[in-house]
Amino acid sequence: RRFSSAFTYVSRTCLCIYKLNINEYFLLYALSYCLILRMAYQIRNLEKGDFRKGYLNLLTQLTTVGEISEEDFSARLKEMDESPDYHIRVIEDSASGKIVASGTLLVERKFIHQCGKVGHIEDVVVNVDTRGQSLGRKIVDDLKRLGQELGCYKVILDCSNSNVSFYEKCNMTNKGIEMVIYF
């Protein structure tokens, strides 16, 4: 892995300087890994420049995207940015400058629950090359946090049966069946 030499340096330095016992050494090693991982990946809102950072290519790992020009991308992003109810979050790999994970929170305004709001998580995807690093969970947790901050009384999502266990690990509960009609 690309950060292994940094882990080794930090761990050996701390072991030598502070003469840590083995449990403290492994704890420090784990904390160093988390710190470096946090520096390597930045979570933020989708930006216009993400067109060139592979955002649409990432979405093709989830579903069909089609041919979208940079101009069309910018126009659609502008529409979404003008809405207070549309939030696309991405994770950028700081080393490569590529978008490696994404998810969307749509806020539905309701009359029930005293004019409450419901957050809908959509389009969660993690690049196949960066899976296994908890990036999907980071996106989902970020979208749940955002929904709560925006005053949603619940956050829901639809997923395939093969993804149920992942979302359960994100503290989501299986509550029903999705119905659909495509046009």
- Give percent of the chain with pLDDT exceeding 70: 79
Look at the block and give the residue holding tokens 């300087």.
17
Residue 113: its pLDDT value, please?
96
Average pLDDT for the chain: 87
User: Rounded to an integer, what is the distance from CA 60 to the centroid of its chain?
Assistant: 16
- Three-class secondary structure assignment of 24-47: HHHHHHHHHHHHHHHHHEEEEECC
Q: What is the mean pLDDT of residues 92-103?
A: 96
131 pLDDT exceeds 50?
Answer: yes
Helices (H) and strands (E) in the chain, counts: 7, 5
Residue 177: its pLDDT value, please?
84
Distance CA 48, CA 81 (A): 10
Instruction: Name the more confident of 33 and 49.
Output: 49
Residue 137: its pLDDT value, please?
97
Q: What is the mean pLDDT of residues 152-157?
A: 97
Q: Are 93 and 37 in contact (CB under 8 A)?
A: no
Q: What is the mean pLDDT of residues 88-115?
A: 97
Residue 19: its pLDDT value, please?
58
Instruction: Name the more confident of 103 and 18.
Output: 103
Distance CA 89, CA 182 (A): 26
Q: pLDDT band at residue 86, thresholds of 50, 70 and 90?
A: very high
Residue 17: its pLDDT value, please?
47
Query: What is the pTM (predicted TM-score) of this model?
Result: 0.79
6 pLDDT exceeds 60?
Answer: no
How many CB atoms sit inside 10 A of residue 17's CB?
8
Q: What is the mean pLDDT of residues 112-141?
A: 97
Q: What is the mean pLDDT of residues 86-111?
A: 97
Rg of the chain (C-alpha set): 20
3-state percent helix, strand, coil for the chain, nearest multiple of 5:
45, 20, 30
Phi, psi of 102 (to 5 degrees): -160, 160
Q: pLDDT band at residue 2, thresholds of 50, 70 and 90?
A: very low
Instruction: Name the more confident of 9 and 130.
Output: 130
